[in-house]
Each structure stands twice: as C-alpha cells, then as structure tokens.
Chains A and B, each alone.
Chain A
Amino acid sequence: MQTYIHGVGMTQFGKLEDKTLKNLLLDASIEALEDAGKPDVDAVFVGNFMGGSIYNQEILGAIIANDLGLGYVPTAKIEGACASGGIAFRQALLGIMSGEYETVLVAGVEKMKHVSTVEVTEAINAAMDNDSNEKHAGLTFPGFFGVLANRYFYETGATKEHLAHVALKNRNNAINNPLSQFKTETSIEEIMSARMITEPLGLFDCSPTTDGASAVVLSKKKGDIAVRSSAQASGPTEMQNAENLLSIPAVGESGRIAYEKAGLGPEDIDVVEIHDCFSMTEIISSEELGFFNRGEGYLAVEQGKTLPNGEKPINTSGGLLSKGHPIGATGISQLYQIVHQLRGTAPNQVDGARIGLAQNLGGTGSYSTVHILERV
C-alpha cells in the first residue's frame, strides 16, 4: 500500500523561552494540518525523549487530540532517544499500512533550553545503558564519537580539518534556513580552534541543545509526495560491543532494507538528510548508506561532493549541527526539509530533486530509521 505526505510544519529552532512544550507541539501540528488542507485525523503519534524527565509533561498525544479538537482518536508517544521522531513517523506509517487508519498526524517536540547543561546532560545520558561499565568509565555521547573519530583518523588519514569542513558546510546551509538555530558565519580557523569537548571533537563538531517542534500529516489518500519505503534497525548499545568501530550497523541495515523495499540504490537519491549529531557521524553514515566507499567519506567532503550543488547534497537544512537538535523533533524536521526539497521550495534547493532520503539515529547507534520519499 502506498502512503503520502500531505502536509508538513516546523517551528523556529533555538532557545524559545516564551513557548511551552505544548505551544511548540500545537504550532507545528497546526501548520502541518493546514498544509494538508485540514483533513480528518484518525490517530496521533508523538516523538519525544525527555518531556517527562526535564519538563514534567507526558500525555503529549492526548494533549494534541484534546487541544486541536481531533475527537476520541487513539494517540501514543514514541521514545527512541534521538530517533524518537523517525520511529514515531514509522509507527504512523505502519498503522496506515495495517488498514487501521487512513490519515495520521505525527509530531516531534523537545524543550531543552530551560534547564542547566548539567541537568540536560544527565537526562540525555538516559540513552546509555545504566548497568554498563562504559557509563561508569565516564563515557559520554560525544565521547563515543571522539573514540570513533580517533580510530577513523588512524585508519584513513583523515584529520580534524575534514570534520571542520562538515561543520562549516552545515553552518553555511543553516544560514539560508530561516528556521535554523545558528545563522552566524564561521570559518575553518574558528571551528578548528574552538574549545575542545572530547578530543578530537570541538564545540562546532557537536550538535547543540535546542527547543523546537515539527509535524507531518501522512495519509493513504493520494498526494504528491510518496513514501517509497520505511526501515528501522537496532545496533549495539555499547561501544565495546561494536564488531567494527568504524561502522554503525543500525544505519547500514536500515539503509539496506529501505533501498531494497523501494527498489532503489544510493545512486538514485537526489538529496539527503543524515543524522549529524556530530561531524564525524555524518561522514560515517554517508559511507554506511552507500553514498561513498568505506573510509572515503572524508574525501567526498573535501571534494565538495556533499555541498548543495555537489553530486550528493547532504544536510541542506543545516543538519543537527546548525539547524539545531530538539531531540524528539529532529527525525520529523528531516522529513520537513526533504518534502520541501521535493516540492522545490527548500532553503539550499537542489535543482530538480525528485527522490530524497532521511536517516535518523538514536543513542550511539542503538536505533536508526531510514525513509525514502519521492515526488510523484
């Protein structure tokens, strides 16, 4: 059964002190519903990670149904760390494919800027295994990708400057995106000399904390953006369980299944949103999704292949690094950007984009979703 995206919505990303979690959720949802022509909605799925732990707010699905006056429709919140949004979208899709629903609203949201860095770090660390010796060794999320980056450098000859080129590209893309968190120009020099978070990753190599929401309306009624395939995979929840440290199997596996279901390959994709929680992650996942050979993703960056006018444009939205990363909203906001690319209305528009791919990651490779969309 074919499903279609009928509408998308997204709030400003950044520090939004005047907006509550509910305000953000409703703003994005209303924009998506209006974009879709105000359809009847049969169910609501919400992607959210820490509404409970740092905002003391749950029942997000029921709040949307009540405040938007959707009636007695079923709703659920989906948690999958930073992949909460992508998984919520997939659950909506499966609900439609099962025949249970015709049209579903999916929204993703996070409020992160109202608490201290210490509190938000503690809450994010809930996405690590509490019982694992790794957490007790003081490993952090950036730490995992720092360990990965050092090994990647050792094996490939890549350097910190290659990571800086990812950060710079995504910043330049974000400058053209009115909804992005960071719009200040930067330079390779500034990125390279920024304060160290976890070696070799500096401030610009790490995604920020962000407030924001995004939403999509998905339906089996014919529309102009088709969901060609949806895939999800799990991977090691601990770094020491990785068979190959320079691989994120959940990304590779979700990509492989998505291509297979769509009958497409990496060469068919015109525009890509990759989960660049760290600059290193974008490079590894660009290899994992088959856009470049293993160990050569950094060369593609160096050669400008991932720029908006390059052969495989990645993160034309600005990515998590510069558009911002409101955890539960991220996966849906990637779809927002891809839909606009396929409609021809995106910031950093790729000429003639017809097929787009969005990949959303949770934990240190614990969850990954891949969705392939096509303008029809």
Chain B
Amino acid sequence: MDAFRCNQCGYETLSEKYYCPKCRNSSFSRLDIEGKGEVYSFTTIHIAPPKFADKAPYQVVLVQLTERLRVTGYMDEDIDIGDSVSFKEIQEGAYIFQKSS
C-alpha cells in the first residue's frame, strides 16, 4: 500500500495533500506500507447504498496501520476492536482487509 509522509513533521496520509495540515510544509515522501494492523473501530452496515445493497450486512473498518496512519477498508468477516487484520487487495477503489491468520 502507498501512503505519504510529511518530510518535516512526519504526518502520514493516504492521499497526497498540498500543505501538511499539521505544519504547512509542502514536501512529502512516498511511503510503502506493509498493510498489517489492528482494527481501531468498525461498523456492520445493514442499510447500504444501492451499489452495496446485495453485499449487506458487511463491515467497514478503520484500521490502525502505523502509529500515525489509519485507513478505512471493507471486510466481510465478523471482527472486533483490536483484531489483527491485513490488507488483501484494492477492489473497485476500496481497500479490502482480511483477518490475519
């Protein structure tokens, strides 16, 4: 997985920003992330947008990937806060996660 890190203060973000929101620096480095982390929080969505209706119920997870970076992903497994998960693939623009074995 790709992410960006501010060269001045170390702020990390999934999408590149013009200014670092923490320190206003505008130079970032590309970061290669292993994609293993813990579930910071999640929800199970029962009422879904039209495109996702046939998948419901499914999980949207907020995964703590590094000390400074959380990423929103999709899962179709029962999970809980603190569970170990790993990045599987990008599917139609979504980061798909699975439980770590």
Contacts and interface: CB of A to CB of B under 8 A. Distances in A.
Contacts of A125: 49
Which of the listed residues A197, A200, A240 has the most CB atoms from chain B within 10 Å of its own CB? A240
A167 to B, nearest CB: 17
Interface stretch (A148-156, A173-181, A355-363): A148-156
A151 B41 contact: yes
B67 interface: no
A303 B14 CA distance: 41
Interface stretch (A39-47, A92-100, A138-146): A138-146
Given A132-B15, A239-B62, A245-B62, A140 B81 contact: no
B96 to A, nearest CB: 8
B70 interface: yes
Classify the interface of chain A: helix, strand, loop or mixed: helix
A2 interface: no
Contacts, number: 99
B41 A133 contact: no
Nearest to B97: A137
Contacts of B70: 240, 242, 245
Given A133-B72, A150-B81, A143 B60 contact: yes
B43 interface: yes
Nearest to A142: B47
Given A132-B15, A147-B60, A239-B62, A122 B46 contact: no
A27 to B, nearest CB: 32
Which of the listed residues B48, B62, B73 has the most CB atoms from chain A within 10 Å of its own CB? B62
B19 interface: no
Given A125-B49, A138-B58, A150 B41 contact: yes
A209 to B, nearest CB: 13
Contacts of A240: 14, 62, 70-72
B44 A154 contact: no
A241 B13 CA distance: 7
A136 B94 CA distance: 5
A134 B95 CA distance: 8
A59 interface: no
Interface string A107-144: 00000000000100110010000001111111110110
B41 A118 contact: no
Nearest to A197: B47
A196 B43 CA distance: 11
A133 B71 CA distance: 9
Contacts of A268: none
Contact of B41 (A134, A148, A196, A241): A148
Interface in B53-101: 55, 58, 60, 62, 70-74, 81, 90, 92-95
Interface string A161-203: 0000000000000000000000000000000000111111100
Contact of B95 (A121, A137, A143, A154): A137
A199 B49 contact: no
Interface string B9-47: 000011100000000000000000000000011111111
Contacts of B42: 147, 150
B43 A199 contact: yes
Which 7 A-B residue pairings sit nearest by Cβ, starting from the closest? Answer: A146-B43, A136-B93, A151-B41, A136-B94, A137-B74, A138-B52, A137-B94
Given A132-B15, A240-B62, 7 more contacts: A122-B50, A134-B60, A136-B92, A150-B81, A198-B43, A198-B45, A198-B47
26 contacts: A121-B49, A133-B14, A133-B71, A133-B94, A135-B93, A136-B93, A137-B60, A137-B94, A138-B52, A138-B94, A139-B45, A147-B41, A147-B60, A148-B41, A150-B43, A151-B62, A197-B46, A198-B43, A198-B44, A199-B46, A201-B43, A240-B62, A240-B70, A242-B70, A245-B41, A245-B70
